[in-house]
Structure 1
Amino acid sequence: MQITKFTDLALRVLMYLTQEVSSSPVTINEVAQQFDVPRNHLIKVVTRLNKLNWVIATRGRCGGLKLGIAPENLRLGNVLRELESKNSLINCAEPPCVLSGQCNLKEILDHGLNSFYEEMNKYTLQNIVDQKTQQAVIKLHQRYSA
């Protein structure tokens, strides 16, 4: 299984927002520049994260982005499940499979996917940004401020 670019960028945004290095709010332009991604794509990601209440986005001259949830409360499996919207790895109905209802493949793959999400839920956003990742994110913030 490979996550989408949307989910990958969402995880990077969440990681970036865990560190408040400057008194200035983090902006869309800052994140777009830091991760070298199109601003319009980033807006879609941030809008989704905002709807999930994982990010608080404030508009206006003094606006910006900040985490809407404590990093230790955001489980990685829940993030992946929500953003990937995958509850099943295959669809036996489209196109119709002649083995549908007569084989175990879908059930086994669904079990594996659920096990993957459960395993990922052992980790939080805080686990992701501990130690070396935290230092890398802080350096990104400092690079932008300089």
Structure 2
Amino acid sequence: MRLTSFTDYGLRMLMRMASAPERAYSTAELAEEFALSRNHLAKIMQRLARGGFIETRRGGGGGAVLSRPAHQISLGAIVRLLEEGQPLVECFAANGGDCTIDGRCRLKARLRSAEAAFLADLDRSTLADIALPAEAAA
């Protein structure tokens, strides 16, 4: 299974935030650390905020903070949110994609099972399990 860069950077952001949950992180600070455009990072932050993983505050002393303790945030939930709208294969798309072997394909069920197993494994881990070490967070 391959995750999008959107999910990759979202996980990295959350790992950084979990390393020092008491402080707020600005979009500019995180964009610089991950060599990512502020615009792209802002889109990721919006999705994470909409999903209830972070809270954002404007103004001086503002930024993004985790909305709850890292040990209460499952990796599976994060990946599900960030990969929303990104089907594993074309035939998993909401509209069914453009598959010429639909109805005869025996691969689809196996891929659904593998995807479910992948997410179930991620559900057994939390953001606290992958938080960056304190010394790396400086």
With the length of structure 1 as denominator, give the TM-score of the two structures: 0.81
For structure 1, the 5+ residue unaligned runs are: none
State the match for 1:114 in structure 2. Answer: 116
**Contact 1:28–1:43 under 8 Å retained in 2:** yes
Residues 1-146 of structure 1: matches in 2 within 5 Å? 1-20=1-20, 25-85=24-84, 86=86, 88-91=88-91, 93-97=96-100, 99-129=101-131, 133-135=132-134, 137-138=136-137, 142=138
Letter matched to residue 18 of structure 1: A
**Contact 1:15–1:125 under 8 Å retained in 2:** yes
**Contact 1:55–1:68 under 8 Å retained in 2:** yes
Give the total of aligned pairs: 134
For structure 2, the 5+ residue unaligned runs are: none
**Contact 1:87–1:110 under 8 Å retained in 2:** no
After superposition, the CA RMSD in angstroms is: 2.1
